[in-house]
Structure 1
Amino acid sequence: MDLDVFVTAHRAEWDRLEELLRRKRRLTGAEADELVTLYQRTTTHLSLLQTSAPDPVLTGRLTSLVARARSTVTGARKASWRDVARFFTVSFPAAVYRLRHWWIPTALLSTAAGALIAWWISTHPEVQAAIGAPEDLRAMTRPGGEYETYYSSHPAASFAAQVWTNNAQAVALCLVLGAFLGLPVFWVLFQNMLNLGIGLGLMSSVGRLDTFLGLLLPHGLLELTAVFVAAGVGLRLGWTVIDPGPRTRRTALAQEGRTALGVAIGLAAVLFVSGAIEGFVTPSGLPTWARITIGVVAELAFLLYVYVLGGRAVRSGETGDVDASDRDAFIPMAA
C-alpha cells in the first residue's frame, strides 16, 4: 500500500466524519445516514492500515475517529447485571473449555511431576536431610505439627482472604508471564509442584500421607485446577506470540489477551470458593471423609460447569472473547 496515495484518496472522508462528530446540534436524517456510512468506511480504512501499512500517527487518528463514531452511532454502552450473567454463563466457561487442550495436559504433567518429587523425597533420607534438620522435619510432620496447625493458625475469615490473595497472585503470574513465550509459566508451575511434592514426600516418609491428603484435598483439588487453567491459558498466550495462525500477530495477541483477562476474572471467583473451603472446611472438625467429599463436589461442579455450559457455548460459536461490538474492527486480509 502506498500510504501517501491512500491518505490523499480518503482524507476528505475522514475530515467530513470528524466534522459531523463535532456538530453540537442534532444531526438531520441525511447527516446521520452519512455519519454511519463514513463510520463503516473509516473502520475498513483503519483495518487496512493496521494490516498493510501501519503508521502510528494516522492509526491513532483513525482509531479515535472510529471510537467516537461508534459511540455516536450505537450510544454509550453501560455494563449491566446481564453482562455479568453472560460472562459467567457463556464467556468464561467457553474460554476455559476452548483452551482445555492446553490446561488438561498441563494439569496431568504437573501432577505427575509433583508425584515424582514426592516419591523421590519420601524414599531418599539424604534428600530429606538436605531439606531441613531432623528436629525441624519432626516439628513439621509430627501429630499436631506445622503441617496440621497451618490451616487453623489464623481466624478462618482472615486466613481465607490471605489464601485467596496468594493464589490469585500465582494465577495472575501465569497469565501475565505467558506473553513472554510462556517460559516463566513453567517456573511458576515448578515452584507450586515442588512445594506440594515436599509436603507429600515428608509426610509420606513418616507414614502420615493420609493425614496430609485429608488436609490438602478439600481445597486443593479446585485450587490446583485454577492454577493449571491459568498456566494453560498463559502457555497458549505465549504460543500465540510464536504462531499466531491465520491472524496477524497483533490481532491474535489482542484476542487471546482479552480471553486471558476474562479467564483471570473468572478464576478469581473460583479461587474465592477454594479459599473459603480452605479457611472454613479444611480446619473444621468435620470427619475427613466429609471434608474430602466437599472438595470433590466443588471440583466436579466446576468441571461440569465448564464442560456443560462451556461446551454448549463453544458449539454455538463462542470463543470466550468479548462481544463483537466491543472488539476493534478489522477485516480479513489475504496472505
Structure 2
Amino acid sequence: MDVDAFVVAHRPTWDRLEHLTKRRRNLSGAEVDELVDLYQRVSTHLSMLRSSSTDSALIGRLSTLVARARSAVTGAHAPLWSEFIRFWTVSFPVVAYRSWRWWLGSAIAFFVVAIAIGFWVASNPEVQATIGTPSEIAQMVDHDFESYYSENPAGSFALRVWINNAWVAAQCIGFAVVLGLPIPYVLFQNALNVGVAGGLMFAAGKGGLFLGLLTPHGLLELTAVFLAAAAGMRLGWSVIAPGDRPRGQVLAEQGRAVVSVAVGLVVVLLISGLIEALVTPAPFPTWLRITIGVLAEVGFLAYIIYFGRRAVRAGETGDLADAPDVVPTR
C-alpha cells in the first residue's frame, strides 16, 4: 500500500472525525450519526496502517483519535481525578519534552552569557567600580548576599520567592503572544544579574559561598525559567514557520500547550521556592544542600523524560483540547 497516497486520500476524514470529537458535547443528531460512521471508518484505516506502515507517529496519532472517538461514542464523563492524572502524566511532560531543543538552547545561552559576564566583572576592578563603591560591594559580598536567604521567616520568604520566580516565568509565557521576541531579553537580564553577583563574589574570594547558596534552589528554578522561555519561543517560531498546516491551527494548538506549561510550572516553582526558603539557609553542610538541589533537578528531568517520551510515542501533543472528558464504558 502507498502510505502517502493513503494519507492524502483519507486525511479529510480524519480531520472531520477530530472536529466532531472535539465538539462532542454540542452535536446535532445527524452529526452524532456521522461521528459513529467516521469512527468505524477510521478504525478500519488504523487497522490497515498497522499492518502495512512503520510510521509510528502517524499510527500514534490515529490511535489517539480512534480512542477519543470511541470514548465519545460509548463513554461516560471522566472523573476529575483522571483529568488531574492525565495532566501530570501527559499534558505537561509531553510539552516540556517536545520543547527540549528550545529548552536546552535557552540554558546554554543563559550560562554562556552569565559566565562571560562573571569573568568580566571578576577580572576588571574598573567594572566593579561602576557597579558600586568599595564599601557597597563589601556589604553585598560579606553580608547581604548570604543574609538574603535567612533574614525573613521561611514561610513568608518562600512565598515571596515563589511569586518572584512565577513572575519571571509568567513573563516568558506572556511574551508568547508577541511571538516570544522579548524572551531573550528577559533571559539576558537574569543572566546579567547572576553574572554580576557571581563576578563580585568570586573576586572577593567567596565563589564557594556563592555556588553553595545558589545551587540548591537555582538548578530547579532556572530549569523552570528555561522551560517557560522555551515554550514561549517555540510558540512564536511555530507561527513564523507553521509547516504545511494552517498558521491559525498551529497557533491555537501551541497556545493551549503553553497553558499546560504555565500550570505545571506553578508547582515546580513552588517546590523551588520551598528549597530556597528551607534548604538554602539551613545549617547543613554545603555538600548536603547541593545534593538536595541536584536530586530535585535530576528528579524533575527524569519525570519529564520518562512521561514525556512515553506520551510522544503515543502520539500526544499536549494540546489541552485533546484531553478526553469521557472514559469508555463496556
TM-score range, shorter chain: 0.7 to 0.9
Deviation of the 1:34 alpha carbon:
3.3
Partner of 1:231: 229
Partner of 1:68: none
Partner of 2:124: 124
Decide which of 212, 215, 228 is 1:214's aligned counterpart.
212
User: Counterparts of 2:30 and 2:137 in 1: how far apart (Å)?
Assistant: 77
Q: 1:38 to 1:318 in 2, by over 3 A?
A: closer
User: Counterparts of 2:307 and 2:291 in 1: how far apart (Å)?
Assistant: 23
User: Counterparts of 2:79 and 2:168 in 1: how far apart (Å)?
Assistant: 28
Equivalent position amino acid for 1:203 in 2: M
User: Counterparts of 2:31 and 2:256 in 1: how far apart (Å)?
Assistant: 29
Equivalent position amino acid for 2:118 in 1: A
Q: CA RMSD for the aligned pairs?
A: 2.4
Equivalent position amino acid for 2:211 in 1: L
User: Counterparts of 1:185 and 1:77 in 2: how far apart (Å)?
Assistant: 39
Normalization by structure 1: what TM-score?
Answer: 0.75
User: Counterparts of 1:254 and 1:74 in 2: how far apart (Å)?
Assistant: 28
The one-character-per-residue Cα deviations of 1:134-162 (angstroms, maximum 9, x if unpaired) are 110000011xx000000011100110011
Q: Work out which of the two has the higher radius of gyration on C-alpha atoms and give 1 or 2.
A: 1
Runs of 5+ consecutive residues of structure 1 not aligned to the other structure: 1-20, 22-30, 42-71, 328-335
User: Counterparts of 2:173 and 2:282 in 1: how far apart (Å)?
Assistant: 33
Equivalent position amino acid for 2:208 in 1: D
User: Counterparts of 1:118 and 1:219 in 2: how far apart (Å)?
Assistant: 20
User: Counterparts of 2:149 and 2:280 in 1: how far apart (Å)?
Assistant: 7
Asked whether the equivalents of residues 169 and 224 of structure 2 are also in contact (C-alpha less than 8 Å), the reply is: yes
Partner of 2:266: 268
Residue 133 (structure 2) pairs with residue 133 (structure 1): yes
Decide which of 294, 313, 329 is 1:296's aligned counterpart.
294
Deviation of the 1:311 alpha carbon:
0.8
Partner of 1:34: 30
Deviation of the 1:222 alpha carbon:
0.3
Asked whether the equivalents of residues 256 and 321 of structure 2 are also in contact (C-alpha less than 8 Å), the reply is: no
Q: 1:207 to 1:38 in 2, by over 3 A?
A: same
Equivalent position amino acid for 1:199 in 2: A
Q: 1:190 to 1:40 in 2, by over 3 A?
A: farther
The one-character-per-residue Cα deviations of 1:284-315 (angstroms, maximum 9, x if unpaired) are 11111110000000000011111111111111
The one-character-per-residue Cα deviations of 1:193-220 (angstroms, maximum 9, x if unpaired) are 0111111000000110000100000000
Q: 1:258 to 1:40 in 2, by over 3 A?
A: farther
1:170-189 pair list within 5 angstroms: 170-189=168-187
Deviation of the 1:181 alpha carbon:
2.5
User: Counterparts of 1:117 and 1:32 in 2: how far apart (Å)?
Assistant: 63
Runs of 5+ consecutive residues of structure 2 not aligned to the other structure: 1-25, 38-71, 326-330
Deviation of the 1:178 alpha carbon:
2.2
Normalization by structure 2: what TM-score?
Answer: 0.76
Residue 309 (structure 2) pairs with residue 308 (structure 1): no
Deviation of the 1:36 alpha carbon:
2.0
Asked whether the equivalents of residues 94 and 312 of structure 2 are also in contact (C-alpha less than 8 Å), the reply is: yes
Equivalent position amino acid for 1:256 in 2: Q
Equivalent position amino acid for 1:253 in 2: L
Deviation of the 1:104 alpha carbon:
0.6
User: Counterparts of 1:209 and 1:258 in 2: how far apart (Å)?
Assistant: 42
User: Counterparts of 1:325 and 1:268 in 2: how far apart (Å)?
Assistant: 20
Structure of higher RCO (CA pairs closer than 8 Å, 6+ residues apart): 2
User: Counterparts of 1:34 and 1:315 in 2: how far apart (Å)?
Assistant: 34
Asked whether the equivalents of residues 253 and 319 of structure 2 are also in contact (C-alpha less than 8 Å), the reply is: yes
Decide which of 230, 237, 240 is 2:238's aligned counterpart.
240
User: Counterparts of 1:77 and 1:118 in 2: how far apart (Å)?
Assistant: 55
Identity %: 49
SS of residue matched to 2:178: coil
Equivalent position amino acid for 1:287 in 2: P
The one-character-per-residue Cα deviations of 1:229-257 (angstroms, maximum 9, x if unpaired) are 11111111111221112221111110000
Asked whether the equivalents of residues 92 and 262 of structure 1 are also in contact (C-alpha less than 8 Å), the reply is: yes
The one-character-per-residue Cα deviations of 1:112-148 (angstroms, maximum 9, x if unpaired) are 1111011110001111110111110000011xx0000
Give the length in aligned residue pairs: 266
Decide which of 315, 318, 323 is 2:316's aligned counterpart.
318
User: Counterparts of 1:115 and 1:315 in 2: how far apart (Å)?
Assistant: 37
User: Counterparts of 2:287 and 2:88 in 1: how far apart (Å)?
Assistant: 30
1:95-174 pair list within 5 angstroms: 95-142=95-142, 145-174=143-172
Residue 84 (structure 2) pairs with residue 84 (structure 1): yes
The one-character-per-residue Cα deviations of 1:58-93 (angstroms, maximum 9, x if unpaired) are xxxxxxxxxxxxxx9999957601111111111111
Asked whether the equivalents of residues 179 and 241 of structure 1 are also in contact (C-alpha less than 8 Å), the reply is: no
Asked whether the equivalents of residues 36 and 73 of structure 2 are also in contact (C-alpha less than 8 Å), the reply is: no
Partner of 1:94: 94
User: Counterparts of 2:162 and 2:156 in 1: how far apart (Å)?
Assistant: 10
Partner of 2:194: 196
